[in-house]
Copies of this chain bind each other. A is one copy, B any other.
């Protein structure tokens, strides 16, 4: 059997790696093809993902002569924390790993970030393989080497840049996602199209219904295209000094919403969809362009399924000041001149941002209030 081919190669200068879209049953062959021939393999996953995929993956690995050390963690954002990290350290170090023992991160963004950070810091670096099973993980978080955990002060504040040996995104795993998670995960897909690929945005517009309903052929095409866009941006800017920051389009606003609403009210994707509406409104106000109006209409077509909640304008503004990408207190906004033509600016009048928040939240289940926050 010939070795599977990647659908894209992330062209890092000293460490290029492949993005594959093979079934999970192919993982043992992929490990062999990448000279990851250690007899012992660590698999980090969560309870939800384990219920579907841990047993078949373990079976395939054992059939190929490997010993599997499974680490099954509780699902959800609270797992990106010191205690689960310590559990990975304790389990792996007690199992007698060495520097060649691969860590397989089987799951969504939480598992990938946590297992990736553990791999980055065990014995100063174990070989890492991402096996993303959620849409956001397949098109975004598994690509580019960001790993880490949360801190009480904010999300992702403890972490490292650490690249995997390869990424394999089995498209069939997306079928087991709840529909809300699928649809909100499309936020990152739409974002990649908006900042980098007008023709891809056209595809998303044309096949909007198929994409929302997870039509299998369209899923593969969309996921691979979105992943390749992310890989292209990362390859040119691994440590986020420059254009990788464009990937924050919609996120500065979205993170503020997530933070102020409390995590769990909105999915990350829903917050990013709302954040992109704010960003598109601000963009159009500063540099009007017909494609921005069209983009806003398409983005408004993705559902946001939150409960009604009041959000204080002052809290949103204060929260943006605390984003970890803020340097010396200045917020850097990613905006568009047109679809596919992003830029970064620090110079946006506060009133323009207020108006964009007001218009966006008025069309969502959230209610904007102008109560000043203590630090506005």
Contact = CB atoms under 8 A, between A and B. Distances in A.
A75 B24 CA distance: 49
Given A82-B82, A89-B151, A151-B89, A122 B157 contact: yes
A117 B82 CA distance: 15
Per assembly, the copies of the chain total 2
A286 interface: no
Interface string A83-110: 0001001100110001110000000000
Contact of A124 (B99, B148, B152, B153): B148
A353 interface: no
Interface string A141-182: 000001010011110111111000000000000000000000
B154 A93 contact: yes
Contacts of A148: 121, 124
B161 A124 contact: yes
A125 B327 contact: no
B89 A158 contact: yes
Nearest to A95: B153
B124 A160 contact: yes
**Interface of chain A, main secondary structure:** mixed
Interface residues of A, number: 35
Contacts of A146: 124
A267 to B, nearest CB: 24
A239 interface: yes
Contact of A93 (B93, B125, B157): B157
A5 interface: no
Nearest to A158: B121
Contacts of A157: 89, 93, 122-123
A324 interface: yes
A328 interface: yes
25 contacts: A82-B82, A89-B151, A89-B157, A90-B151, A93-B151, A93-B153, A94-B153, A98-B324, A98-B326, A99-B324, A100-B328, A120-B160, A121-B121, A121-B148, A121-B159, A121-B160, A122-B157, A122-B158, A123-B157, A123-B324, A124-B160, A124-B161, A125-B160, A125-B239, A160-B160
Q: Which 9 A-B pairs have the closest CB atoms?
A: A93-B153, A124-B159, A98-B327, A121-B158, A123-B324, A93-B151, A124-B161, A93-B157, A121-B160
